[in-house]
Structure 1
Amino acid sequence: MHGMCALVLPVERADGTPAVLKLQSLDEETAGEPIALRAWDGDGAVRLLEYDEESGTLLLERLDAARDLSAVDVRDGVRVVAELLARLTARPAPSGLRGLGEIAGAMLDEAPETVRLLADGGERRLLQDCAAAVREVVGEPGDRLLHWDLHFENVLAPLPEPGGEVREPWLAIDPKPLGGDPGFELLPAIANRFDEGDILWRFDLMTEVMGLDRERARAWSLGRVLQNCLWDIRGGGRTLGPMWAVMGRTLLAR
């Protein structure tokens, strides 16, 4: 299997235990993966078996690559993601991870110049409003261990153990971890199998399951909208992606 930045190969350890070898380039996002996986130690996440620091290669517990949340009912999938995030973000972020405060500060620095590249006045105001929401919370960025990218395809079912038991129904994979506020975690599960009419109930369900302050979660979710829009414009776009624009307007109107 592979995504945008990694190749995952099925292997067996010397004792016959199934595992996977994850090969990836080291950057600011991937460098924190072994730190997070060690902190979680298999509690809600795939187990890290070994790590080669020089190459960034990980040896991981093998999960069932054919079973993710893409095929389950959307409401059930959102609840599973929220329940996993409630557990994963219960831990303080270990040292050595990038922080949400730094990321949010960089976004706020970039936003004014980027906004000027948009031709549509309504879109410019939308990004300005997203940035204003982030300014209200950037001084308290949080200190929890965040996964950052927990969407339906990043949740897999474990393989049965030798006795037939399954240690957990679902496990998180492929974190791009940082330290921060759990409200920054919601947008990937709102974007999966996107439906405009689902935005608010997904947001409400996740904040309830995770026990979040809804106003802070709304502000940090608008921060994720801002982040995605900045990426798109940085890549040459001169208009907002329709999904991000709808999400932003819906959350701002709440």
Structure 2
Amino acid sequence: MIEIPAKLIRNHSKSSPEWLASLPAALDRYVDEWKLTVSGDLMSGEASLIVPVVRRDGTEAILKLQSVNDESESEALALRTWNHDDVVEVYEDDPETSTLLLERLQPRTLDDLPDAMEATQILAELLTHLMVVPAPTGVRRLSDIAAGMIDDAPRVIPMLADPAEQALTWRLVAQMTELLPEPGDRLLHWDLHYYNVMAAKRQPWLVIDPKPLAGDPAFELMPAVWNRWDDLVATGDVSQAIRDRLDLMLDVTGIDRDRALGWTAGRILQNILWFTEDGDTRIEAELKAVIDALLA
């Protein structure tokens, strides 16, 4: 028996109880198949069990157990497609279960850097490397994700209580719709924020935990813009701090500003639709602040 971390139970007890129940047997299976020794306490991400292990040759690694879904099924493919110098290495994987054996990194992320703009600079530099790589066959397409949002909008937007917020959300739909005929074909991370870049021995920083998509790199900017929110507030001018972050990302990556704003509108729309379907009837204050800073 193993003690599953409370966060994982909290996140999945209702949505995936069978998967949670399968974790002890899955851990035993991969420890045996891949000749591993558990070497530390079990941890968790939002949707995965993280187990420190040692391989038979003495290499420290991380065993990542996660459920199979649209986000996890192409993770190993993406990490092996990008340049090895930019991302965590995959030692082993089982496509049937999305289980991964990964390089063990240092317990420090870009969120731990005291200077938020330095962290944004590093994130942008990594994005310049990732964004030039074409997406391999089989990865989900941004065009399909965006079309799904447009299809969902008429059902979800009326759930917002404020007519002005409904009108604002329809404007986001229109901005993203303009870009839909040219959705792009690069390999996208989708969740490239400060927690998903970790310190390493062989490189200063490596990217982890992609949710792969094929699309326009301009879709990658929103996570960098609104994560580390307390740092934005600490500047005393949230709107200007948001614009400064976006300007830095654009300066480093060379992404076109109009496309950046259009696809950022799409990312904001995605969050509004998610949160509203989960029961929110007003747009979150942080999302409103990003809209006011960049799209007003």
TM-score, normalising length from structure 1?
Answer: 0.94
Matches within 5 A, 1:1-254: 1-65=43-107, 67-72=108-113, 73-159=115-201, 167-194=202-229, 195=232, 196-197=238-239, 198-253=241-296
State the alpha-carbon separation in 1 of the partners of residues 251 and 74 from structure 2.
28
- Could you tell which deviates more after superposition, 174-183 or 121-130? 121-130
- Could you tell which deviates more after superposition, 147-156 or 242-251? 242-251
State the alpha-carbon separation in 2 of the partners of residues 158 and 31 from structure 1.
25
State the alpha-carbon separation in 2 of the partners of residues 86 and 219 from structure 1.
19
CA offsets, 1:18-70, max 9 Å, x none?
111000001001111011011015231101111112221101111002x1111
Query: What is the SS of the residue equivalent to 1:179?
Result: strand
State the alpha-carbon separation in 2 of the partners of residues 56 and 30 from structure 1.
6
Larger Rg: 2
* 8 Å CA contact retained: 1:126, 1:248: no
Q: Which residue identity is paired with 1:204?
A: D
- The aligned counterpart of 1:162 is none
Q: Which structure is higher in RCO with an 8 Å CA cutoff and minimum separation 6?
A: 1
Q: Which residue identity is paired with 1:249?
A: D
Identity %: 48
* 8 Å CA contact retained: 1:130, 1:248: no
State the alpha-carbon separation in 2 of the partners of residues 211 and 187 from structure 1.
15
The structural deviation recorded for 1:249 is 2.6
CA offsets, 1:83-121, max 9 Å, x none?
111101110000111000000001011112212111112
Q: How many pairs does the alignment contain?
A: 245
Query: What is the SS of the residue equivalent to 1:200?
Result: helix
Query: What is the SS of the residue equivalent to 2:159?
Result: coil
Query: What is the SS of the residue equivalent to 1:30?
Result: coil
Query: What is the SS of the residue equivalent to 2:106?
Result: strand
Where does structure 2 lack aligned partners over 5 or more consecutive residues?
A: 1-42, 233-237
- The aligned counterpart of 1:163 is none
Where does structure 1 lack aligned partners over 5 or more consecutive residues?
A: 160-166
Q: Which residue identity is paired with 1:82?
A: A
